[in-house]
Every structure is written in structure tokens, then in C-alpha cells.
Amino acid sequence: MAANSTPEPRQRPLPDEKLVRVFDTEQESEALIVRGLLESSGIDSDITSLDAQQDILPGVGGTVILVREEDAAEARRLIEEYRRSPSNDDTAEVDISEDISEPPER
């Protein structure tokens, strides 16, 4: 058996590391999902808000995901794969018209 076969855990990107933008969105919830996808694949990331003053620049803002430069290509590949994959959404629309019965008479 190898003496130390587990890799050393990676830390979040440091402020002085070269970070690259790999994803941006208007929805913070979408950014959190993508961040989870990246982290589940071992890619550490930072989320940055791009909020602008809405009275000066209405509609400008959003959320950006940054990763280490060496992880950028893999992160983009994972994000693209996720976007192309069929939805596994359990809340998909269901036709319930078949299950509707007449209300009981009073």
C-alpha cells in the first residue's frame, strides 16, 4: 500500500492568484448551482457580485464565477457539459388532466 495515497486538499483561490472568469449570470441561484458543480469535480471557485447602482446603470449587474487559471479549461468543459445535458428536474411539468375527477355532489 502507498504511504500517503490521498491528495492534499486544495484551498480556495488566494487573492493574489491569477483567476479567470468562467461563468456569469444575472441569477445568483444559477451561479450557486454552477459553483456546486465545479466544487463536486474538485475545482475551487470564487463568486463575485457585479452589482451596479441601479439608478445609474439599470439592469447592469450579476454574478461571476472565477477559478484558477489552470482549472479554467476543465471548468468551462464541465459547465458546457452541464448545459447540454438533459434536464433532471423533478419539478417538470406533468399533465394532471387525466387525474381530475368530478367533485363529489353535495
The CATH number assigned to the domain holding 43 equals 3.30.70.1940
Q: Is residue 56 part of a domain?
A: yes
Residue scoring higher pLDDT (89 or 19): 19
Q: Which domain covers residue 34, as residue numbers?
A: 19-84
pLDDT given at position 44: 93
Those residues with Cβ within 8 angstroms of residue 10's Cβ, 6 or more apart along the chain or in another chain: 42, 44
3 state SS of 100? coil
Number of structural domains (the chain) is 1
Cell of 95: 399533465
3 state SS of 25? strand
What would the pLDDT profile of 38-95 be if each residue is shown by its tens digit? Answer: 999 999 999 988 766 555 656 566 889 999 999 999 999 999 998 888 765 554 555 5
pLDDT given at position 85: 83
Q: Is residue 79 part of a domain?
A: yes
Q: Is residue 39 part of a domain?
A: yes
Q: Is residue 13 part of a domain?
A: no
pLDDT given at position 1: 47
pLDDT given at position 7: 47
Q: Is residue 89 part of a domain?
A: no
- Tell me the mean pLDDT in the region 11-24: 77
pLDDT given at position 66: 93
